[in-house]
């Protein structure tokens, strides 16, 4: 995992904690830009206190922080993609155990996956445990698998096809 400490000033410029994700960085950048733009209602009352030059300087620092953090997350994603490729090389079938193993090797907490994908934690736990009986209908389960795979930087179509094949086999066995 790439060290965030050298980027602390950039996170602080956008008033974010070091563990913020890129979506949070993007939102903070937009808010900060809006606040310090010339037509912002938030800065109209302090217009005389902050010179035009100071405002432009602040906007430039906000832009610089956003660019640096964009580079950080792009580099981080490249490292993640390369790491995932090395981890998954040769894997042709995905089940819950494979997903859990990859997530653990990447040091990604399940809560982070749940928050990012908006898939409830209990469904992610059931996916990883191959607890098909506790999963929702196939269309929802497939969507959860795709979102989970994308979060892990995996080939979402390959993972979904493999996982759902096992899910369908379970359904057929259950129906007998």
The DSSP code sequence of 100-119 is: HHHHHHTT--HHHHHHHH--
**pLDDT over 70 for what percent of the chain?**
84
**pLDDT grade for 167, boundaries at 50, 70 and 90:** very high
Domain boundaries, position 15: 5-81
pLDDT for the residue numbered 145 = 97
Distances (CA, A) of 58 to 5, 36, 40, 88: 22, 8, 14, 44
Cα angle value 106/85/123 (rounded, 5°):
50
Q: Cβ(83)–Cβ(77) under 8 Å?
A: no
Q: Cβ(121)–Cβ(101) under 8 Å?
A: no
**pLDDT over 90 for what percent of the chain?**
40
pLDDT for the residue numbered 24 = 84
Q: Are residues 118 and 65 in the same domain?
A: no
Q: Are residues 138 and 165 in the same domain?
A: yes
pLDDT for the residue numbered 12 = 92
* Overall number of domains in the chain: 2
Domain end: 81, 112, 133, which one?
81
pLDDT for the residue numbered 25 = 82
Q: Is the pLDDT of residue 116 over 80?
A: yes
Q: Are residues 67 and 97 in the same domain?
A: no
Q: How far apart are CA 129 and CA 106, in angstroms?
A: 18
Domain CATH code at residue 146: 1.10.260.40
Q: Which of 75, 73, 58 is nearest to 13 (CA)?
A: 58
Main-chain dihedrals φ then ψ at residue 161, nearest 5 degrees: -60, -45
């Amino acid at each position: 995992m790439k060290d965030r400490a050298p980027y602390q000033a950039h996170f602080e410029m956008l008033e974010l904690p070091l563990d913020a994700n890129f979506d949070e960085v993007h939102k903070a950048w937009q808010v900060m830009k809006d606040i310090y733009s010339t037509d912002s209602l938030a800065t109209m009352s302090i217009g005389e206190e902050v010179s035009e030059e100071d405002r432009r300087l602040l906007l430039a620092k906000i832009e610089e922080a956003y660019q640096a953090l964009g580079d950080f997350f792009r580099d981080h994603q490249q490292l993640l993609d390369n790491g995932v490729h090395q981890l998954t090389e040769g894997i042709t079938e995905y089940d819950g155990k494979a997903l859990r193993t990859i997530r653990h090797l990447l040091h990604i907490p399940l809560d982070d996956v749940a928050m990012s994908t908006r898939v409830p934690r209990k469904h992610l736990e059931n996916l990883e445990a191959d607890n098909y009986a506790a999963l929702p209908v196939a269309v929802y389960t497939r969507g959860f698998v795709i979102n989970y795979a994308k979060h892990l930087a995996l080939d979402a179509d390959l993972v979904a096809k493999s996982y759902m094949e096992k899910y369908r086999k379970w359904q057929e066995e259950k129906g007998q």
